[in-house]
A and B are shown apart, each in its own frame.
Chain A
Amino acid sequence: MDNLSSTYDLLGLSTKSTGGKISKVRFDNTKQEFESNEVLFATGSWDTPKENTLLLWNVEQVSFGLGEQPSLTFSVLGKTTHEGDVTDMRFIGDNILLTSSSNGSLNAFQIINTNTSDFMDQSVGTSNYQLQMIMNRRLHSFTDTKNASLNSFAIKPHSINDPLVATVGEDGRIVIVRIEDSVKDHVIEDADASSIKAILWPRSNEIILANGCGQLRIFDPRENKPTTICHDCCYSPINIRVPINCLAFHPSKVHKVASGNNKGGVTIWDTRKLTEPEKHAQPHNSRVWEVFYHPYYQELLFSCSEDGTIGAVNFADFTPTFSSQDSMNAVKGQNVTIRKIGFKSNELPINSIDYHPHSKLLISGGDNENLLYTLI
């Protein structure tokens, strides 16, 4: 990673139909295909008036030799409609794609390889896969007639065989469901009086929420009240609570969490000591929509933003600076390396990013309806 150059250019992939503006991209990291050059990922769209689209993609890498950049070929394998904006998405085992929707529902899609069957759905053209909805449950709403967006979901650790999913939304509730059952497992009605933007489930007895008031709240799933509330105090004046839009796990340290906020900042937290954030950087000048840690270089944090760029922040040499006037700003440190990755003619937001470590492919999608990617 020392040779992460100052300006990677994202290569533009001009697509014919990505199904509209992309709200989520997610690799299928459930399979370890070391021998195959094929990589599966999915995209979900938003803002399409009638129905949005889920696309299942394949990207194939062909290497030309040592020192040569591999050539990438993208193709759509399957397609289905999605009611509401795709607000979150994740592949789970048994070829299931889980999505959440702005209409408050949690959906599960079974990915069926039609090559192994005689059936070919003509509506998806020449694709080899079918995405079949196997679950659609409306979990969040303000009233009986008014939906609330289901903003994010998290899966309980070590429950992958019988996934237990916690969902959060604009109605301020946490709903914990099992995919297999049709009965809601547990609902925390007033988890937050404001809208909940993101959720993590790092440990069985710990759920972390981020809300629109710049707070992190930690819950024990068995309780109805948060055990801890803290806020991002990296901005002054202190009463400016900047909404937090996204959260991410550290790959190996379960107590480390990263967040991205509305002012373009990313913050690292230690959940054992939540009185103040641990580290902070400002890679963007507008809303951060997603963050994630590099799986191997664990001080490297990627983020994507409304400003149309991807940020790569290296916290490895972070040194906190202490101001005599305001010790709360200690987290604004020196020696934080920030690199920006962007596509020069793109000014439209990038809403989602994901990384496939085996192929070293970083992929992003946003409001310009194109997939943008690079190899890192």
Chain B
Amino acid sequence: MREKLLCDISWNYVNAIVNHIKSLQEIPIKDKQIQNEISTFRDMMAIWELCRIMYFIKSERYQRLSTDLLTWLNECYPLGEEELNELRDSPNLRNTVTFWSRLYKLILRGLFPQAINFLRSIIMAVEITSDQIINREIIINDIIQSVIKCIKSRPKMSSYDTGLAWRNWLSQCSQLQKSIILENKFLEENFIMILKILSGDPDAILAKSSSWLEGLVALVYHKYPKCETSDVRSTLGPVFIRFSVHPDPTSQALKRIFYQRIDDALSYCKHIDPWLLSHLTDLLCKTDLDETIGGKSLLLHQHREGYLIKFAEPLLTHSTLWQVGFKYLEHCEKFGKVFMEEFVGKIPFDNERKFEKILKICEDNGLKFDEKCIITTMGTKYMQIKRYASTIIYYMRAGKDESLKAICNIFLTQYVESGKIMFSEVLDSIPVDKNSNESVNFLSRYRLYHSLIQDEFYVQAAQVLVECLRSEISPKEFWGVLLFHTVPLMKLGRRKGIKLFEKIHIDEFIYYCSQVLDKRIEDSWLKLVQRMKRWHYKETGYFDISEDLNPVKIECERYKKNLEKNHSV
């Protein structure tokens, strides 16, 4: 199951590469950059697929190394068309070196249907006569048919289990080889060479291969068809005696993959493409690679996160791919969070939708500090344009108590300036209860006080007013405003005989008066009173505003006496 899963995932990656190559090939005018990109992606596909064949598939059920390698070679490094173009106009294919060169490649690469067609194309149509030349043609035709038959009868992979079919077939090839004697030595050598290749003769295979890859894969397929991945190393010696490997990173990487030196192979992948390096390393880490390499300690596990982070870093600052970048970091257990913390605050946002998406990254990854910072940024943005409801919501989410206090003071100042409750609609939008931020709670209670007064619920209004005073949330100067509010209530209580305040409340009012008249806040208190005086009489119709709070003190005394009188009665 795990193997299948790994192969499925690998297939998804390869599919992405293949689709990208296709999309590049569809571009009508390919400049050098596009051609280089196509070449790079082809190299990536070759390396990726070779790793899949060599490392992802282990169980016998899925393992067909020799045929997989052949398929890989033909897909990633297909035969070119140049030889075919040359052969198209050739009058005498049989005696053309290019023909046989092509045929060898077809045989080496297991492209047997094409090879058979090639052989058939040199069968000459003859009539049976006693002419010696024609008889020679008949013999050649017979040999061609025998070779074709030999190719067609090559045993399939499943029958290798017994080995018997394979040995029988090898024996047939050997006998046919010995029976080929022709006057035309050129033809004779070529037919024998084909049979030698089919029989797995290493010298023949390597002599006719045009590259080390072709030679290696052909050797595995024809000489060691039941080879396992760990055995491939042992076939490499003769190949590298005959061939040298190009110093380009892809060839070097492929060589090391065959040698099962995966760490070295990945170091060459660095020079090919960072996507390849990071994703291949990640997937290889999920295989039981240590087992495959015989318990050798591998560095790729240590490097995995580094490669992923290096790949993801440019994405984090990309205008549209930042979400993908963070997804990569989520798979980096050791260092991913550090990078998230560094980059998440740098993603620009100018509307709430994007803000919520950035916030989700913080929530999903436990980035509490960054979450608060981003929410605060949003709140501040609204603060600058005086959208206070949104500001308060965001500051509450961020736990910015001091900022909320400042907003609370803004609203209270507005009341002092104008006598109007400007924050009523703001509070309509905000969830407030006893567990809310205390500044917002205070505003909510203070608004409630005013609406209770308006609706003539004086008992409840008095209760709320006492709570507002006792909370001591507002600035000390504003306690004076709250004390001014007590005066008409105390007067009303006395006039109508309603007990709006207890004696303890009156004592508290006296205490708060002394606090307001503290020298330390004298300036601000005096300014506040002056501002209130501008509108107070007009709004309320009574003169209860004075810097020394005497109206409050006087009314407190009267109310206390009234309470005592009523009590004694």
Instruction: Give me the interface of A with B, judged by CB distance under 8 Å.
Output: 14, 16, 20-21, 46-49, 85, 87, 102, 142-143, 146, 149, 151, 170-172, 190, 192-195, 197, 211-215, 229, 231, 237-241, 262, 286-287, 306, 345, 347-349, 367
Contact = CB atoms under 8 A, between A and B. Distances in A.
B389 A240 contact: no
B358 to A, nearest CB: 11
Interface in B322-370: 323-324, 327, 350-354, 356-357, 360
B561 to A, nearest CB: 43
B562 to A, nearest CB: 40
Contact of A239 (B23, B319, B388, B431): B431
B19 interface: yes
A241 to B, nearest CB: 4
Contacts of B23: 16
Contacts of B472: none
Given A21-B320, A195-B390, A237-B435, A213 B430 contact: yes
A231 B351 CA distance: 23
Contact of A149 (B319, B351, B425): B351
Nearest to B426: A193
Interface of B: 12, 19, 23, 319-320, 323-324, 327, 350-354, 356-357, 360, 385, 387-390, 393, 425-426, 428-433, 435-436
Contact of B393 (A87, A146, A197, A212): A212
Contact of B351 (A102, A211, A286): A102
A172 B393 CA distance: 14
B327 A238 contact: no
B429 A286 contact: no
Interface centre among B324, B357, B428, B429 (most CB of A within 10 A): B429
Contacts of B426: 193
Given A14-B19, A237-B433, 9 more contacts: A47-B354, A192-B389, A193-B426, A211-B429, A213-B393, A229-B428, A237-B435, A238-B433, A241-B430
16 contacts: A47-B320, A49-B319, A142-B385, A149-B352, A170-B352, A193-B390, A193-B428, A194-B393, A194-B429, A197-B352, A213-B431, A239-B436, A241-B431, A348-B327, A367-B323, A367-B357
Contacts of A142: 385, 387
A146 to B, nearest CB: 6
Contact of A286 (B12, B19, B360, B387): B360
Contacts of B390: 170, 193-195, 212
A194 B19 contact: no
B435 A195 contact: no
B388 A193 contact: yes
B385 A143 contact: yes
B327 A47 contact: no
B431 A231 contact: yes
A192 B388 CA distance: 11
Nearest to A229: B428
Contacts of B393: 194, 212-213
B126 to A, nearest CB: 51
Nearest to A231: B431
Contacts of B389: 172, 192-194, 213
A197 B352 CA distance: 9
Interface centre among B319, B356, B436 (most CB of A within 10 A): B356
B60 to A, nearest CB: 28
Contacts of A16: 23
Contacts of A48: 319-320
Contact of B360 (A146, A215, A287, A345): A287
A107 B388 CA distance: 29
Given A287-B356, A349-B357, A190 B425 contact: yes
A306 B353 contact: no
A195 B351 CA distance: 10
Contacts of A46: 353-354
A193 B390 CA distance: 7
Nearest to B433: A239
B47 to A, nearest CB: 22
Nearest to A211: B429
A193 B425 CA distance: 6
Given A47-B320, A170-B352, A193-B388, A213 B429 contact: yes
B454 to A, nearest CB: 16
B437 to A, nearest CB: 10
Given A142-B385, A193-B428, A102 B353 contact: yes
A149 B353 contact: yes
Contacts of A190: 425
B435 A194 contact: no
Contacts of A345: 12
A338 to B, nearest CB: 21
B321 to A, nearest CB: 9
Interface centre among B357, B388, B425 (most CB of A within 10 A): B357
Nearest to B348: A49
A62 to B, nearest CB: 23
Contacts of B19: 14
A195 B389 CA distance: 9
Contacts of A238: 431, 433
Contacts of A212: 352, 390, 393
A241 B430 CA distance: 8
Given A48-B319, A102-B350, A239-B431, A306 B360 contact: yes
A26 B121 CA distance: 59
A239 B435 contact: yes
A348 B425 contact: no
A141 to B, nearest CB: 10
A171 B360 CA distance: 23
A240 B430 CA distance: 10
A286 B363 CA distance: 10
Contacts of A286: 360
Nearest to A143: B385
B352 A20 contact: no
A142 B381 CA distance: 11
A170 B351 contact: yes
B353 A87 contact: yes
A236 B428 CA distance: 20
B383 to A, nearest CB: 12
Contact of A194 (B12, B387, B436): B387
A231 B393 CA distance: 15
A232 B353 CA distance: 20
B319 A47 contact: yes
A241 B435 CA distance: 13
Nearest to B350: A102
Given A212-B390, A306-B360, A192 B429 contact: yes
Nearest to A215: B429
A347 B364 CA distance: 12
A262 to B, nearest CB: 7
B438 to A, nearest CB: 13
Contacts of A195: 352, 387, 390
Interface centre among A21, A47, A306 (most CB of B within 10 A): A47
